[in-house]
Amino acid sequence: MKMITAIIDDFKEIIKNRTRLEKALNVKITSIGKEVCIDGLPEDEYIAEKVIEAVEMGFPFSVAFLIKEESNLFEIINIKNYTHKKDLEKIRARIIGTKGKTLRTLTELTKCHFEINGNLVGIIGDTEFIKNAQQAVIMIIQGSKQTNVYAYLEKHQIQPIIDLGLKEVKKKKTK
């Protein structure tokens, strides 16, 4: 069985909560220096790696554990990939907004969780909503006004499919 090895910069939180992570993620976690080894079934190792990445990014454990659910994804956007500007501090400030207002509004409109760490923006959310969340962050990075981004998100809201039971179900004929 192949084991995943990840290099973690700030792994105090991971080591401190090792048993909690091992139980919740069904893996064995060992550490040597800055290397964290994850051992378990391949799909469990992959999910554990993503959860550990999310915790390292700054997400609380309760949010990072959402990655375990099949319908949720964890995506990272590197601010440098979407701008040529050198003043990345200003761009991070635009994403956060005054007293965190922009991030709160993005969270409300996209139903996703955001975390900013250096030049990276982490997003955890349902597969249906993550694309809009990524697009919104990219629009802000590229200089769009927040109000235009909110309007875009409101226009592209994913509507839940409501089954009223009116559609006839076709039955297969058995021979």
Paired tokens of 134: 């990524």
Q: Per the domain annotation, does 128 fall within a domain?
A: yes
pLDDT at 131 over 50: yes
Query: Which amino acid makes up residue 61?
Result: F
User: Tell me, what's the pLDDT at 37?
Assistant: 84
Residues spanned by the domain of 79: 72-155
Distance CA 142, CA 92 (A): 11
Q: Per the domain annotation, does 169 fall within a domain?
A: no
Co-location of 84 and 129 in the same domain: yes
Q: Per the domain annotation, does 163 fall within a domain?
A: no
Co-location of 138 and 92 in the same domain: yes
pTM of the model: 0.81
Q: What is the mean pLDDT of residues 157-174?
A: 65
Closest to 114 measured CA to CA, from 154, 159, 142, 132: 132
Q: Per the domain annotation, does 10 fall within a domain?
A: yes
Q: Per the domain annotation, does 170 fall within a domain?
A: no
Tens-digit pLDDT profile for residues 11-21: 677 777 888 88
pLDDT at 39 over 60: yes
Number of domains present in the structure of the chain: 2
User: In sequence order, which ranges of 17-126 are alpha helices (DSSP H)?
Assistant: 18-25, 42-57, 61-64, 88-96, 101-110
Distance CA 45, CA 37 (A): 9
Q: What percent of the chain has pLDDT over 90?
A: 51
Co-location of 23 and 87 in the same domain: no
Tens-digit pLDDT profile for residues 47-84: 988 998 898 898 998 999 999 998 999 999 999 999 88
pLDDT at 112 over 90: yes
Q: Per the domain annotation, does 98 fall within a domain?
A: yes
Q: Which CATH number is 113's domain given?
A: 3.30.1370.10
Percent helix / strand / coil, the chain, rounded to 5 = 50, 20, 30
Co-location of 83 and 37 in the same domain: no
